[in-house]
Amino acid sequence: MFTGAFTALVTPLKKGMFDPEAHEKHIDFQIEAGINGLVPCGTTGEASTLSHDEHVEVVRFTVAHVNGRVPVIAGSGSNSTSEALGLTRRVQAAGANACLMITPYYNKPTQEGLFRHFSTIAEQVDIPIILYNVPGRTGVNMLPETVARLARIPNIVGLKDATADLKQASYTFQMVPEDFIILSGEDALVYPLMAIGGRGVISVVSNVAPGEMSGMCRRYLEGDIDGARALHHQLLPLCDAMFTETNPIPVKGALAMMGRMSDEVRLPLVPLSEKASIRVREAITDFGLLES
């Protein structure tokens, strides 16, 4: 269920509020292009500036509109264990197929603290949990040994690896069970991660290019290694452009240029700078997403 390309959905905003009409159209665009699944309320969905009620509203809306067409993995993490548990229970009740749970940020727990955080939550819910390791944002790196301990818990089923460290990922693959799913959290490294055992990606770039990102994963999983590699090289400049400023600023800017939604973000994020806007426009034009 959790293999291939999953889009880390942006949360469309209009005058400071969730824009359900734009979200509905964006979901349909993704599914029609062949995406394998959707991930609302992660980093790209600006979960850190959504209230818990808004967070659950976005998840509930996504689940209802998807209507079983693809799996929905809802963000539900927090730096507070009790808060993450409460949010996980709410997204499960909203109908999510799984949850994506970030390592606690800012308070910098030890490896034992990370283990206890996730295991405590997993013991009290039955929804599948995908761990999310992104040390560049959280200030803490979950080591392979800790992932391996957590992988023994039945409803902890996978990891989104956004370390950009293929050596660490290689050790993680060696230590976890064969059926434990590792997805890339770095768009530029999807192909390399799949080469060492990855099963796909939770992607920012697939917000604008869902067909190509899902196509790369599908080709690799089907054994068309050369075809997957060609798409990797085609996607690479777009991947770089979508991170020219803090995610999700560039991808929302690109979607606005494509006429799909507003580029509105919540403070402390701000829209694309003029310099970055030029680079993003050039990248999506070169990729064929915008007429020159």
| Positions marked active-site | 132, 160
Q: Is the Cα dihedral 256, 259, 261, 262 positive or negative?
A: positive
Q: Is 288 exposed, middle or buried, given 0-12, 13-18 or 19+ CB atoms closer than 10 A?
A: exposed
3-state SS of 220-231?
A: HHCCCHHHHHHH
Closest C-alpha among 65, 69, 118 to residue 94: 65
Name which of 171, 239, 169 is nearest 208 in CA terms: 239
Q: Which of 125, 193, 136 is nearest to 159 (CA)?
A: 193
**Quick one: which H or E segment has residue 215?**
helix 210-221
